[in-house]
Amino acid sequence: MRRIEDYEPIVGRFRIHELYKLGEKLNGKIIQNINSTAVGGGVAEILDRMVPLLRQLGINARWDVIKGGEEFFKITKRFHNALHGVKLDFHEKEFEYFLEVNRENAEMMDLVGDVIFIHDPQPIALVEKKKEIGRNWLWRCHIDFSTPIPQIWEFLKGYIEEYDAAIFSAPAFSRELKIPQVLISPSIDPLSDKNKELSTEEVRSVFESFKIDLSRPVVTQISRFDYLKDPLGVIDAYKMAKKYVDCQLVLAGGPATDDPEGEIVFNAIKERAASDPDIFILLLPPASDIEINALQRGSTIVLQKSLKEGFGLTVAEALWKERPVIASAVGGIPLQITHKYSGILTRTVEGTSFWIKQLIQEPDFARMLGKNGKERIKNNFLITRHLTDYMLTFLHLMEGGAEDIVYL
Ligand code: UDP
């Protein structure tokens, strides 16, 4: 079990001291996190690291997951796509069913937190319980909210405004709301299996197990198999680059229990890749952290060619490993990458393909991007900073009331 002190060599003594001080003020308080999946995707990834550390700091942190069947997650995935600007029409019945499942969960769950900390839209309507049970309600938005379809935005807004405050990952996602908004970017845990140092031998053995040739350039994207991560665009960019430079492509991903589209996208990728022996499509089971770590560390270039993105944890993970990253200028990615300084920002298949070729041909420049990228992550996006921001928000909520929270 990792201890808070283990982070001191990375972030310094002051940060650790600050965490303990804040922990003392929140001692014994119940922070009840609620989301919709225990595995897969960035939210589960963060909660998995965050909850044990909050506990070590004396906070009674819990993590509960709402239950929902296939129909519910189909609807919430449609919400997710519409929030990202995909043009979809919703039927009244979908909203009714969404609310019904939320109400069933509200009845089944023990809503006991001093702070009830709801993540993303799936469990958003649990806040209907607030009138009955009181408590401090905090809504955490992890997704790109910049161009939502009005129908879905209006529906969700009614619930968001019932909360005491809302947290967004990047300024571009904040919306006009009656409640205070806080800006907190997500983070990675440098000591987790996904991000810790690995020996060359460990990296090599993972590549060997997938039969990927480490002596040739490897371009990798790790993501849930989701159209918004543009895996088909990645294949097209790789194919264009391949006319000029030798490389292999790795597309690695796994299922998330709250994402029913994975299989369809997976099949579409396989079809687009056809039988190119240099394309590796890896379906990773949950808990493949060491494999993902090794794939990121051993890759020549890491891509994140998302069409929409919340924060893009995979970018932070790769930068932390000093990898040159080529990623779309969407969501929270520009917070992490300054173009041509700590990575490369692109918008198109052609741009991505151009930079794959450039970085393979200019390894010194690629190395510089990786080094600067690691520094950016170290200074801004590690879990210790994230813990401090959350604890300050909890304190403000409990002590001063939401009106004290800094507006964006
Ligand atoms: N991830 C994983 N297994 C996979 C695909 C992704 O563990 O097969 C992890 C990935 O390493 C990252 C997180 O899931 O930590 C994805 O977070 P991100 O913010 O990049 O995207 P999201 O899936 O939340 O849209």
With a 6 Å cutoff on the Cβ, whether 45 touches ligand 1 is: yes
Look at residue 405 in the predicted model and tell me its pLDDT. Answer: 62
With a 6 Å cutoff on the Cβ, whether 258 touches ligand 1 is: no
103 lies in the same domain as 242: no
The answer to the question of residue 273 being in a domain is yes
The answer to the question of residue 237 being in a domain is yes
238 lies in the same domain as 290: yes
Ligand 1 centroid–CA 42 distance in Å is 5
Look at residue 71 in the predicted model and tell me its pLDDT. Answer: 96
Look at residue 165 in the predicted model and tell me its pLDDT. Answer: 96
The answer to the question of residue 194 being in a domain is no
With a 6 Å cutoff on the Cβ, whether 312 touches ligand 1 is: yes
Ligand 1 centroid–CA 250 distance in Å is 15
Ligand 1 centroid–CA 188 distance in Å is 11
Segments forming the whole domain that contains residue 163: 4-187+382-404
Ligand 1 centroid–CA 377 distance in Å is 17
- Which of ligand 1's atoms lies nearest the C-alpha of 315? 20
234 lies in the same domain as 163: no
320 lies in the same domain as 247: yes
320 lies in the same domain as 399: no
Ligand 1 centroid–CA 230 distance in Å is 14
pTM over 0.85: yes
The answer to the question of residue 166 being in a domain is yes
With a 6 Å cutoff on the Cβ, whether 41 touches ligand 1 is: yes
With a 6 Å cutoff on the Cβ, whether 228 touches ligand 1 is: no
Each residue's pLDDT tens digit in the chain (408 positions)? Answer: 789 999 999 999 999 999 999 999 999 999 999 999 998 778 998 999 999 999 999 999 999 999 999 999 999 999 999 998 889 999 999 999 999 999 999 999 999 999 999 999 999 999 999 999 999 999 999 988 778 899 999 999 999 999 999 999 988 888 889 999 999 999 999 999 999 999 999 999 999 999 999 999 999 999 999 999 999 999 999 999 999 999 999 999 986 777 888 889 999 999 999 889 999 999 999 889 999 999 999 999 999 999 999 899 999 999 999 999 999 999 999 999 999 999 999 999 999 999 999 999 999 999 999 999 999 999 999 999 999 999 999 999 998 765 656 544
Ligand 1 centroid–CA 39 distance in Å is 10
Look at residue 40 in the predicted model and tell me its pLDDT. Answer: 79
Residue whose Cα lies nearest atom 14 of ligand 1: it is 41
248 lies in the same domain as 150: no
Ligand 1 centroid–CA 259 distance in Å is 12
Ligand 1 centroid–CA 223 distance in Å is 5
Choose the residue to mutate in 222, 259, 311 for probing ligand 1, maximizing ligand atoms within 8 Å of C-beta.
Answer: 222
With a 6 Å cutoff on the Cβ, whether 224 touches ligand 1 is: yes
The answer to the question of residue 82 being in a domain is yes
With a 6 Å cutoff on the Cβ, whether 223 touches ligand 1 is: yes
With a 6 Å cutoff on the Cβ, whether 331 touches ligand 1 is: no
φ and ψ at residue 241, rounded to 5 degrees: -65, -35
- Which of ligand 1's atoms lies nearest the C-alpha of 41? 23
Number of domains in the chain: 2
163 lies in the same domain as 292: no
328 lies in the same domain as 398: no
66 lies in the same domain as 156: yes
The answer to the question of residue 16 being in a domain is yes
The answer to the question of residue 156 being in a domain is yes
Ligand 1 centroid–CA 313 distance in Å is 7
207 lies in the same domain as 264: yes
Express each pLDDT in 211-264 by its tens digit: 999 999 999 999 999 999 999 999 999 999 999 999 999 999 986 777 888 889
236 lies in the same domain as 259: yes
3-state secondary structure the chain: CCCHHHHHHHHCHHHHHHHHHHHHHCCCCEEEEEECCCCCHHHHHHHHHHHHHHHHCCCEEEEEECCCCHHHHHHHHHHHHHHCCCCCCCCHHHHHHHHHHHHHHHHHCCCCCCEEEEECCCCHHHHHHHHHHCCEEEEECCCCCCCCCHHHHHHHHHHHCCCCEEEECCHHHCCCCCCCEEECCCCECCCCCCCCCCCHHHHHHHHHHCCCCCCCCEEEEECCCCHHHCHHHHHHHHHHHCCCCCCEEEEEECCCCCCCCHHHHHHHHHHHHCCCCCEEEEECCCCCHHHHHHHHHHCCEEEECCCCCCCCHHHHHHHHCCCCEEEECCCCHHHHCCECCCEEEECCHHHHHHHHHHHHHCHHHHHHHHHHHHHHHHHHCEHHHHHHHHHHHHHHHHHHCHHHCCCC
- Which CATH number do you get for residue 232? 3.40.50.2000
The answer to the question of residue 193 being in a domain is no
Choose the residue to mutate in 43, 140, 314, 337 for probing ligand 1, maximizing ligand atoms within 8 Å of C-beta.
Answer: 314
Choose the residue to mutate in 36, 39, 45 for probing ligand 1, maximizing ligand atoms within 8 Å of C-beta.
Answer: 45
65 lies in the same domain as 212: no
